[in-house]
Amino acid sequence: MRVSPPGSSAKFVDNDTSRLTARVVVTAILSVLGGGFHFGFQISIINPMAQILQNFLLENFESRYSVELSESDLTLVWSTIAGSLFIGAAFGAYIMSKILEIYGPKRGILYSALVLLLSTPLAGLSHLISSPELFVLSRLLSGIGVGMGTTAQGVFLAEISPVAYRGVVGSFGGFSTNVGFILASALGLPDVFGTKTLWAYAFYIEALPCLILIIANVSWFCDSPVYLLRNGDENRTYRALTAYCGRRAAPNEMIRVVSEVKAYCTKTDIVWSRAARRALLLSLTLNTVVSFSGILAVSFFGTFLLQSIGFTEHSASLANCISGLSGTLGAILSTTAVDRIGRRVMVLGSLLFLAAVNTAMMLLAYYFDATKQSWVGWGFLLLFVVFLFTFSAGIGPTAWFLGAEMAPAGFRARIQSMSVAAQYVSCFLSPIVYYPLNTSIGALSFLVFIIPLTLSAIYFHRYLPETKGRTTEEITVMLQN
């Protein structure tokens, strides 16, 4: 039994009785099909299909409205449509806070899956009826569904997980993002659906996980124990804890949930709660630096970057897809290591390593611009692979759950909502800042990523506590002190 920290009155959970049950693992895997998976899919699918989708929009806009779009006009329209995913996602994350308060995270995940089940086939339908407006609507609605899903999944996974395995379960969100990214990269290849006539089928396939999640949510999921107890249903709370944590751990986990709900009932405003304020600032910083780590450049412009460094269009698309597998390996490592190594080490280590990789990319890109040596392309591809592995093993998956893990129970929904919304707003801004700089100053544009990564590493070294294996009340005490 862990000793309570000074100033805490909690009876903490005996981790000897905790185990990672099959029920909580399968529930976690299914839950992220409505959020993280679609985020990875949506940001990746437009990379290999960029030219095809731009031609579709150009042809239909010009024929429908009798206008001629210049190359710069098309670039602006395409950037706006691509970025509308993040605008929708920020809005979805914002509204999910209130949904979580009223209906709980289980139903929040269900609502996000319903939105995505509607939105994803619309992109394919837009091709069938030659409607660029429908494609834009699909992108925006998909963003709303993604924002809702990633916010709800963070809270849900934090509240159904045994304390000892909260990191493992929470990291499924990042793992699913990587799986969605790889699947979309593969489906977007010219040899699969990346053609003028077949691209719509990639979006039809994206809708299938939503259908699976909806069926599982309605028929099999237990609700969050914290939400159930907050509504006074002790019997269902205990049954949910038994299902998710096992019979032996359920009594101790019940003590933890009771402690969280008591704190929930005595919550104040975030501004006046020191622990909540610090948790929010740490989570906002982490989610923002994720967007300014270089991952959006890799996701949106990966094929373009490889082409600019010497690859042909087809080989760049294939290399971009294959290199994404390194991200899957990184995500697997994160899932197995997060509760052994700890969040603090993984966050600090990945931030510093990503800063170093971005610096090496900058130097190689600068050298290629000066010499046009073909071998530089292979060195850049190697760094590309290392970057995806490091990101997926570190800050990528951690950002999805660390805010929900650090937040006092009464503030969890709001902190998760604000943090996820911050990531999507900065995701929208990052390509807007990076792409023009890359065009104007070339390799030096990597400083947009190197500087935030370095500064945030200094900040987290000073203020980020280690939350591995600690209950919510323990973490709250650490943040207050």
Local structure of 12: helix, strand or coil: coil
Nearest to 206 by CA among 317, 116, 146, 318: 116
CA 30 to chain centre: 15
pLDDT tens sequence across 102-113: 999 999 999 999
Q: Which long-range contacts (CB under 8 A, 24 or more apart) does 118-124 make?
A: 119/144, 119/145, 120/38, 120/203, 120/204, 120/206, 120/207, 120/210, 121/203, 121/204, 121/207, 122/203, 123/200, 123/203, 124/200, 124/201, 124/202, 124/203, 124/204
Mean pLDDT of 430-446: 82
Q: Print burial letters for 274-291: b (CB count within 10 Å at least 16), e (below 16).
A: ebbbbbbebbbbbbbbbb
pLDDT tens sequence across 269-289: 665 678 889 999 999 999 999
Q: Cα–Cα distance between 138 and 126 in angstroms, integer?
A: 9
Nearest to 124 by CA among 213, 200, 45: 200
Taking a C-beta distance cutoff of 8 angstroms, is the pair 10, 473 a contact? Answer: yes
Predicted confidence at residue 289, as pLDDT, reads 96
Q: pLDDT > 70: what percent of the chain?
A: 89
Q: Is the pLDDT of residue 5 over 50?
A: no
Predicted confidence at residue 312, as pLDDT, reads 64
Nearest to 123 by CA among 82, 89, 87, 65: 82
Local confidence band at 136 (pLDDT 50, 70, 90 cut-offs): very high
CATH classification number, 15-221+267-480, choose in 1.10.260.40, 1.10.10.10, 3.40.190.10, 1.20.1250.20: 1.20.1250.20
Q: Is the pLDDT of residue 168 over 80?
A: yes
Q: Which residues contact 331 (CB under 8 A, 6 or more apart)?
A: 171, 174, 175, 178, 179, 392, 393, 396, 397
> Cα(first)–Cα(last) distance of the chain, in Å?
23
Per the model's pLDDT, the better-predicted residue between 122 and 274 turns out to be 122
pLDDT tens sequence across 178-216: 899 889 988 988 889 988 999 999 999 999 999 999 999
* 135-139, 258-262, 303-307, 351-355: least confident range: 303-307
pLDDT tens sequence across 362-383: 898 888 778 877 777 778 778 8
Domain boundary assignment for the chain: 15-221+267-480
Mean pLDDT of 228-239: 92
Predicted confidence at residue 364, as pLDDT, reads 84
Q: Cα–Cα distance between 383 and 406 in angstroms, integer?
A: 33
Taking a C-beta distance cutoff of 8 angstroms, is the pair 128, 200 a contact? Answer: yes
Q: What is the overall mean pLDDT for the chain?
A: 86
Predicted confidence at residue 117, as pLDDT, reads 96
Predicted confidence at residue 463, as pLDDT, reads 94
Local confidence band at 457 (pLDDT 50, 70, 90 cut-offs): very high
Local confidence band at 13 (pLDDT 50, 70, 90 cut-offs): very low
Q: Is the pLDDT of residue 65 over 90?
A: no
Number of continuous H segments (helices) and E segments (strands) in the chain = 21, 0
